[in-house]
Structure 1
Amino acid sequence: MRIGIDGRELLRSNVTGIGRYLRNFLSSQVVRCSPHEFVVYGNQFTSPELSGPNVRFRIVPEHITLWWDQVVLSRLAREDRIDLFLSPYDKGPLLLPCPLALTVHDLSFVSFPEHGAFRSRAYFGTRKLMARRADLIITVSKSSKRDILRLFGVREDRIKVVPNGVPDEYSRVEDKSLIERIKHRYRIPGDYILYVGNFKPHKNVRCLIDAYKELPDMLKDKYYLVLCGRRDKFRKEVEIRVRSLRLEGRVIFLDFVPEEDMPVLYSGAEVFVFPSLYEGFGLPPLEAMACGTPVICSDSSSLPEVVGEAGVLVDPNRPELFAEAMERVLTDGELREDLRSKGLRRSRRFSAEDFSRRLLEILEELA
């Protein structure tokens, strides 16, 4: 079988969530040892580094996104006689000569639109149309599946849940000197509480800032709050909140951190906190658990499904409850060790190889 894949998120200079999704799949032993051929379509920004005996890249410049989405991909699929097409997005070519599998990671654009009313309605309309055109919708959690059923109105048997996986590189780092080198590299002068993610409103970082402010002075003096996320248009509001609460110097913004440094950064944190209002899956808490770091996160959307009883779940609308949870974890060594061991066990249920195996099985069934 020849499987076509939209691989534009495999970027040369940046690691996105969808790029990681594709990287985990294409680099897995499940894919590398399969009898199928994978043709990955990319544009001028795509890195072909995952090429292999059964993984081939076709790079075609992209100038107008809609044209590339609908015309170029359909033409390439015909030329290559693709048997099945996998899109890692909630969009895909409508004129394919083969079955189409879309990936809907979440529907945050419905509850937390980033554009005006007209553009938001148009975006939702096109995504709903594409979902109904697709032969199969792949999603990453039962929570997202419920959202798709409710908002897109597609048949339940056309939706398959394939939870994300964590690569083996995400594991506990015990080397204290390595942790200290990473702290020095990113100018973290002491022990720290960690958040990883962007600064969009639904990530609810303001709640974390407010919760950190409510910690006893003794704990704020001992633990910095480290916010790890690429600078975006929403970060300025968070920076303003930090200044208004006079937390400059205690809250550290890291901007971009290469993936190879992330396991060390997670392992060095005393606790990982994730106050998001909405997630389709929620990979950062899982990565933190895989690195043996205690997790506190919201009890909303997919997060209880991912974290289970291995973390402390908190109402994301209550900063004072996040403050209480952080104080409890930071001051109770036995609780921290219990959360570490539970998190490590929980994370093993979400391996990258299991994710790849399940995804490939579903594609084979569709074909």
Structure 2
Amino acid sequence: MRIALDVSILHAPRTGIGEYALQLGRALQKVPELELSLFDGLRWRDDFPEAPRAGYGTLSQIVKAILPNAYQIRRQLMQRRFDRGTKHVQPEVYHQPSLWPLRFDGPTVMTLHDLTHVHYPETQPRDRLRAIERHLPIALQQASRILVDSQFIADEITHHYGVPHNKLQVAPLGFAPRFQPRSEEQLRMRLATYQLQMHSYYLCLGTLEPRKNLDLVIAAYLTLPDRIRQRMPLLIVGGRGWRQEQLKRIPHSAQAQGQVRLLGYEDENCVAELLAGAHALLFPSRYEGFGLPVLEAMASGTPVIASECAAIPEVAGQAALYVDPDDVDGCRSQMLALLDDDTLQATLREEGRQRARQFSWERCAQITVDTYRTAGHF
């Protein structure tokens, strides 16, 4: 099968959808029956963009300031390049791994990761939100098949858009090889860089925006005894998203003493090593279509304290400690319970690794290939 895969998302700083496009694409390249052609929005290629385009975010903001309809113009230019390329590539199936596809005469598979635009429309730039609201319902109608990361999202799409379940296919995500248990010696240089001790810090991962619910973690952490905060700093790793009020509530003294540390966006290897060395991943998100950091933490042998919301329990099962996303005292209690119980720590590390073994990019790729077959009637 000749497959066209859009990888234009890889020009942006890597987040969950970018990781999906990259890791799924690499797994698909190993499937003998597939001939994979990659479209990066500018040109067709055989390899993946390995790093975000330099200055991508700044350039995007400048272009949007100059051209109010920049998003629509960009899509039109991509469509022209895509059309020219398909005449030569002649794909039998086209797969768009992020939101709605470009126009294509043949069978189209799209992946819809979540309905953030429905629940949190404020997180989308205004022109992009208008485009989503205009184009996504049509794309869901016209797509041959729709891939989703979880049954939770499949049910949401059916409920909100009326898409029949037999058009949807759940393909759970996987984790990259860099997410694995590490010894203290393996992490020595990384931990020394941040003046950290093995298993002696909490970690939050994800784009900094309200639905990630950092307020809960910050409030719970600040109620811990000072002696604990002195030896167990809270690291917050992620690019800045929409609204930053929760970060303004961090006392200056907590940051000055190194108790709460805002590291910003870090590269993938740094994130993997910090995750493997953490005492626990704190993931209190209110809404996730999957919750990739939860799986990556479990694969790394790191305990997870997460909110029991959306698709998160579908990923973590019984291998995590859960909290109500509005219960500060409950979050604090779980943090203390894990801190004081070596047996619980060991149990969560082992159960997390076992749970993670149920997920892989190879499995995701095989389900995706089966979906291509169904879409193309092969």
Settle same-fold status: TM greater than 0.5. Answer: yes
Say if 2:304 is the partner of 1:295: yes
1:238 aligns with 2:238: no
Matched, 1:39 2:47: no
Partner of 2:174: 165
1:303-325 CA-to-partner distances (Å, cap 9, x unmatched) read 00000000011111112211111
Q: Do structure 1's residue 194 and structure 2's residue 193 form an aligned pair?
A: no
Q: Which range moved further: 205-214 or 124-133?
A: 124-133
Q: CA RMSD in A?
A: 2.5
Flag the 1:48–1:117 CA change in 2: closer, same or farther, 3 A: closer
Shift of 1:331: 1.0
Residue 261 of structure 2 aligns with which residue?
252
Q: Are the aligned partners of 1:70 and 1:92 in contact in 2 as well (CA < 8 Å)? A: no
SS of 2:186's partner is helix
Deviations 1:260-315 (A, max 9, x none): 23332111111111000000000001101101011110100000000000001111
The 1:213/1:45 distance shift into structure 2, 3 A limit, reads: farther
SS in structure 2 opposite 1:15?
Answer: coil
2:119 to 111, 117, 120: 111
Distance 1:196 1:116 in 2: 22
Gaps of 5+ in 2: 50-62, 64-69
Relative to the length of structure 1, the TM-score reads 0.88
Residue aligning to 1:180: 188
Partner of 1:57: none
In structure 2, the partner of 1:3 is 3
Over 3 Å counting, the alpha-carbon distance change for 1:251 and 1:43 in structure 2 is same
Q: Which residue of 1 aligns with 2:147?
A: 138
1:224 and 1:363 map into 2 onto residues whose CA distance is: 46
Partner residue, 1:99: 107
Following superposition, the deviation at residue 189 of structure 1 comes to 6.9
SS in 1 for 2:318: helix
TM-score of the superposed pair, with normalisation by structure 2: 0.86
Q: What secondary structure is seen at the aligned counterpart in 1 of 2:111?
A: strand
Measured against aligned partners, the alpha-carbon deviations of 1:73-103 in whole angstroms (never above 9, x if no partner) come to 2443244222110001121123x11011111
8 Å CA contact retained: 2:94, 2:108: yes
2:41·2:78 contact (CA, 8 Å) conserved in 1? Answer: no
Give the whole-Å Cα distance in 2 for the aligned partners of 1:297 and 1:203. Answer: 11
User: 8 Å contact 1:2–1:84 — kept in the other structure?
Assistant: yes
In 1, Cα distance between equivalents of 2:43 and 2:233: 36
Residues of 2 paired with 1:41 and 1:139: CA distance? 21
Q: Distance in 1 between matches of 2:237 and 2:87?
A: 42
SS at match of 1:124: helix
Question: Does structure 1 retain, via aligned residues, the 8 Å contact 2:42–2:78?
Answer: no
The residue correspondences of 1:24-103 to structure 2 (distance < 5 A) are 24-28=23-27, 31-43=29-41, 49-50=47-48, 64-94=73-103, 96-103=104-111
1:23 Cα deviation after fit: 1.6
Check 1:72–1:281 CA distance in 2 against 1; reply closer, same or farther (3 A cut): same
Q: What SS is found at the alignment partner of 1:9?
A: helix
User: 1:182 and 1:246 mapped to 2: Cα distance?
Assistant: 22
Letter of the structure 1 residue corresponding to residue 97 of structure 2: P
CA distance in 2, matches of 1:245, 1:278: 31
Structure 1 residue 242: deviation in Å?
0.7
Q: Are the equivalent residues in 2 in contact too, given 1:310–1:342 (CA < 8 A)?
A: yes
Inter-partner Cα distance in structure 1 for 2:181 and 2:131 = 45
Query: Aligned residue pairs: how many?
Result: 352
Q: Distance in 2 between matches of 1:261 and 1:45?
A: 30
Aligned AA for 2:99? D
Shift in alpha-carbon separation, 1:170–1:119, aligned structure 2, 3 A = closer
1:47 to 1:117, Cα distance in 2 relative to 1, 3 A? closer
SS at match of 1:27: helix
Give SS of 1:226's match: strand
Q: Shift of the alpha carbon at 1:120?
A: 4.3
Distance in 2 separating the partners of 1:45 and 1:264: 34
Q: Aligned equivalents of 2:46 and 2:14: distance in 1?
A: 14
For residue 273 of structure 1, give the secondary structure of its aligned residue in structure 2. strand
| Counterpart residue number, 1:209 | 218
Letter in 2 for 1:102: M
SS class of match (1:310): coil
Alignment match of 1:305 (pick from 314, 320, 323): 314
